[in-house]
Amino acid sequence: MPKPTPPMVSGALPGLGHALEFRSDRTALVRRGFEEHGNTFAIKLANQKVAILIGPENQRTFFMETDKALGIQEPYSFLRATFGEVLFLAPHDVYLEHRPVVLEAFRREKMLHYADVMQEVVQVWLDGLGEAGEIDLVHEVTHLVQEVAGNCFLGSEVHKQLGREFWDLYTDLSKALDPLLPPNLPLPKFIRRDRAKAKLHSILEPVIAERRQHPERYDDFLQDLVNKRYPDGRLADQEMIVDLLLALMFAGHETTAGQTAWTLILLLQNPHYLRLVQQEIQQVAPYGVHIDPRRMMQLDYISWAVREVERMRPSVDMLMRTVKQDVEVGDYSIPKGWLAQVAQDVAHNLPALFDDPETFDPLRFAPDRAEDKQDRFALIGFGGGTHKCTGMNFANMEMTVITALVFQQFDLELVTKHPQVERGLGASRPSPTRVRYRRKPQSELLAQNASPTAANGTMPAAAAEATGQ
C-alpha cells in the first residue's frame, strides 16, 4: 500500500494557500504545523505544495538526497537572477567546476591571512568610535562585516578603490531577493537590481582585465580567481569571476552581520555568561596581543556563544529543494514536483535535542554536554551534506574576532533592551538596536597584559575545567 503524502497545515486560504502567512510569519506557520502534525507536514504556496521536514532524521534525508532525489537549483531562481549561474545555482557539472575555485578562498594559508585582516579592520573600527557614545549596533556591524568581506576577498587596494559606491549598489541587490515572486517581473526593485548588477560588472571587469595583464603585481584571493584554471586548462571568464565575487561577498556579509550582532546582544542580555567571556579574553587574548590561531582555538566561551547564536538566531531560517523523484520520509511519501523544506527556527528548538531550548546557554556545547554532537544533522545553521556552507569557518572566525576585540576594549550597555528578530526575504537580523559604549581606561587595558597567563595564552581555570584539560 503506497504511503500517504504529508498532512496539510490548517489555515490555507482558497487559491493562495498559506502564501500570505508564509510571507508575513513563516516561523509561526511552521511551528503550528509541527504542533498539529509532528516532524513531517505540508503547506501550500498558491499552487505549489511544500513538505516541511523537522528533526535530525528528516534533515538527514533532506541533505543526503540533495543532488539525487532532491534538486537544489530550482528553488533559488531568485538568487540566480542576481548572481548568475555560480556554485549551487549552476547545473551540477558546473557546480563541480566552481566548488574547487571557492575552496581556494578558504584554504589554511588564506584563513591565516584573513585572521590578520579581520583584526586590522575591526581595530580601525574600534579606534574610530572614540571614548564613549551610542550607536545603532546592527547598522555598525553591517558596515563592519562589509569592510571585512571587501578587504579579505577583493584585497585592501581594490576595496578602497571601489569605496561605498560598491556597497550602495550591493544594497540594491540584497533588497531584490524575493523567493515568492518571479524574479523577472518589471517591478522597481528588480529594475534597480539589474541596473546595480550591470554597474558592478562595469566596475569590476576592468579590474580583472588589468590583473590579467599584470598578474605578477598581485597576491590575494581576487588574483587567485583571475589565475585559476579549470582542469581542461581554461581560464574562468570575466563574467563568471564577477558573479562569483558578488556571491561570495553576499555570503561573506549578509548572513554574518545578523549573527554577529546577535552574539553581542545576547551576551549583553546574559551578564553571567559575559563575565566568563571577559575572563577568558583577559587571560587568552588581552589588549595588545595578536590573536593567532593558537589563541583563537582557546576562546572556548566565545566559540560556544557563537554556536548558541547559530542555534537560537539562525540567519537563514529555511532551506528548500525541488522533489525530482518521489522520496519517502518516515511514514510519508513526497511526490515528484513538490518542494521540500527544512526550518532551522523550529529544528533548533526541539527539547529532545536541546535542554531548555528557549534559554541562551552556550555551555550546552561544552564537551561535558555536547548537545550538538548527538546527531550531525541536529544543528543546521550552515546547512549540511555536500552543500554545507564552505565559508562556515570564515564566518565563525570573524564573529569570534569581533566579539573578542569589542569586549576586550569596551564596556557596552543595551539601550534597546529587547531587540526583535527581523525576518525579511533575505537573511534574518536583529531589529535596530541602540547600544551605549565606553572605552575601558588605558590603565585597565594595560593591566590585562599583567596577567601571568596573558603572555602564553593559557586557558582560564573555568575553561580548562569545562573542557576537561
* Spatial CA neighbour of 322 closest among 138, 81, 62: 62
Among 64-73, 91-100, 168-177, 349-358, where is mean pLDDT lowest?
91-100
Q: Each residue of 162-220: pLDDT tens digit?
A: 888 888 888 898 888 887 788 889 999 999 999 999 999 999 999 999 999 998 888 88
**CATH code of residue 111:** 1.10.630.10
> How is residue 2 written as a grid cell?
503506497
Alpha carbon separation from 122 to 160, 212, 288, 409 (Å, rounded): 16, 31, 13, 12
Q: Pairing relation of β-strands 70-71 and 132-136?
A: unpaired
Q: Which of 314, 302, 312 is nearest to 383 (CA)?
A: 314
- Write out pLDDT tens, residues 48-79: 999 999 999 999 999 999 999 999 888 888 88
Cα distance between residue 151 and residue 155, in whole Å? 5
Nearest to 243 by CA among 94, 428, 399: 94
Is 4 inside any structural domain?
no
What per-residue confidence (pLDDT) applies to 446?
A: 80
Residue 58 lies in a domain: no
Interaxial angle between packed helices 188-213 and 156-174, expressed in degrees from 0 to 180 and rounded to the nearest 10? 160
For the cut 80, the answer to whether the pLDDT of residue 327 exceeds it is yes
Answer yes or no: is 76 within a domain. no
- Average pLDDT of the segment spanning 331-340: 97
Helix (H, G, I), strand (E, B) or coil at 42: strand
Per the structure, the count of domains in the chain is 1
Cell of 416: 534597546
pLDDT of residue 45: 94
User: Which residues constitute the domain of residue 173?
Assistant: 93-314+352-467
Distance of CA 343 to the CA centre of its chain: 15
Q: Which cell is 284 given?
A: 587568552
Residue 319 belongs to a domain: no
Kindly state whether residue 261 falls inside one of the protein's structural domains: yes
Q: Facing residues of 133 across strands?
A: 437
Concatenating the DSSP letter of every residue in 10-68 gives S-PBTTTBTHHHHHHHHHHHHHHHHHHH-SEEEEEETTEEEEEE-SHHHHHHHHHTBTT
Q: Which residues contact 454 (CB under 8 A, 6 or more apart)?
A: 282, 283, 284, 286, 289, 448
In a domain, 27, yes or no: no
Please give the Cα distance from 412 to 134 (Å, whole number).
9
- pLDDT category at 44 given cuts 50, 70, 90 is very high
Closest to 54 in 3D by CA, of 36, 43, 39: 39
What is the distance, to the nearest Å, from the Cα of residue 387 to the centroid of all Cα atoms in its chain? 14
Q: What SS3 class is residue 435?
A: strand
Tell me the residue type at 224: D
Q: Is 26 among the domain residues?
A: no
* Cell numbers representing residue 390 in the block: 564552505
Binned at pLDDT 50, 70 and 90, residue 389 comes out as confident
Statement: residue 87 has pLDDT above 90 = no
Within 8 A by CB and 6+ apart from 160, the residues are none
Whether 297 is covered by a domain: the verdict is: yes
